[in-house]
């Protein structure tokens, strides 16, 4: 399958966020990280996900600078770490993030976790202030459960654009998907390959064999079928290209049903400070 067949337009949502992005957590070697970002952008990716906590915002910025793609065509998201969530630190640390990313503004800024210094009344107005200043285009949250979304929506005058949560065939997030649909919030799937576990699921292997695809591609195609944006992390060109080619994998109703029916539920990201 040729990777050139997918134009960025083919994956861009009306909301302006491309539905397939590149994750960068643990892509920590500066040169490698910049190269993965450059390679993904030159391949067609237009959505890059990073975070203050990944320690790679500078390398992500370098990868963007090295790619043959204008900054304005790229949807760039970063996240404010849980220790930076009081009002002043949100402003200050985001200013630092923009410097590191070498950009005047990010397209989306997330609260990384509703934990640590997170206090809706203090944290969220700082996000609104950054939006007023033009430093961020959209306000996002991450790892929010319905009760955190309820609370945040009460505090914010601006809409919550997206909630980034773990989501894949082994953690299908039915309740959050319904909540986000009802309230016009984009769901962004992190760990969309279940950090590699998708390769061990028989149902996914069966669908993959049927389509001459990889389990990674099947997981990404299933998410796309559900209207969910996915940000698989990949380091090598091979993995970056394999995930990009998921855009050519069309699941039929039988495939989708088979994946919907997977009973196993396995969360991969579950730190002690998680709110659940």
Residue numbers at the binding site for ligand NAP (CB under 6 A): 23-25, 49, 112, 142-143, 164, 190-196, 214, 216, 231-236, 239, 242-243, 269
Alpha-carbon span 244 to 3, nearest angstrom: 7
The residue (of 226 and 233) whose beta carbon lies closer to ligand NAP is 233
110 is catalytic: no
Those residues with Cβ within 8 angstroms of residue 64's Cβ, 6 or more apart along the chain or in another chain: 37, 38, 41, 48, 71, 74, 76, 101, 102, 103
The residue (of 132 and 250) whose beta carbon lies closer to ligand NAP is 250
Q: Which helix (H) or strand (E) holds 79?
A: strand 75-80
Min. distance of Cβ 19 from ligand NAP in angstroms?
A: 14
DSSP string for residues in 206-231: HHHHHHT--HHHHHHHHHHHTT-EE-
Min. distance of Cβ 150 from ligand NAP in angstroms?
A: 20
Min. distance of Cβ 184 from ligand NAP in angstroms?
A: 20
The residue (of 253 and 268) whose beta carbon lies closer to ligand NAP is 268
Taken in order 230, 217, 270, 236, the sign of the CA dihedral is negative
The residue (of 23 and 120) whose beta carbon lies closer to ligand NAP is 23
Count the helix, strand and coil residues of the chain and give each as a percent rounded to the nearest 5.
50, 15, 35
Tell me the residue number closest to ligand NAP, measured at CB.
23
Min. distance of Cβ 214 from ligand NAP in angstroms?
A: 6
Q: Which residues are known catalytic residues?
A: 54
């Amino acid at each position: 399958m040729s990777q050139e067949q997918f134009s960025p337009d083919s994956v861009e949502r009306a909301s302006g966020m491309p539905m397939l992005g590149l994750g960068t957590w643990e892509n920590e070697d500066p040169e490698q990280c910049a190269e993965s970002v450059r390679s993904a952008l030159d391949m067609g990716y237009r959505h890059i996900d990073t975070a203050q906590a990944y320690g790679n915002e500078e390398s992500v910025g370098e990868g963007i600078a090295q790619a043959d793609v204008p900054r304005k065509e790229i949807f760039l998201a970063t996240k404010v770490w849980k220790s930076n969530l009081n009002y002043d630190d949100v402003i200050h640390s985001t200013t630092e993030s923009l410097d590191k990313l070498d950009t005047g503004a990010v397209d989306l800024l997330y609260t990384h976790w509703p934990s640590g210094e997170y206090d809706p009344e203090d944290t969220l107005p700082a996000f609104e202030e950054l939006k007023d200043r033009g430093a961020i285009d959209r306000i996002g949250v991450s790892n929010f459960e319905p009760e955190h979304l309820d609370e945040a929506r009460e505090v914010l005058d601006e809409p919550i654009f997206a909630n980034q949560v773990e989501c894949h065939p082994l953690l299908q997030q039915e309740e959050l998907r319904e909540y986000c649909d009802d309230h016009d919030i984009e769901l962004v799937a992190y760990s969309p390959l279940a950090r590699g576990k998708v390769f061990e699921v028989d149902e996914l292997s069966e669908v993959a064999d049927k389509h001459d695809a990889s389990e990674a591609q099947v997981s990404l195609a299933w998410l796309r079928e559900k209207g969910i944006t996915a940000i698989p992390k990949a380091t090598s060109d091979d993995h970056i290209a394999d995930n990009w080619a998921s855009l050519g994998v069309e699941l039929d109703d039988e495939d989708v049903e088979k994946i919907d029916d997977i009973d196993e539920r396995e969360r991969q990201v579950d730190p002690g400070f998680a709110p659940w």
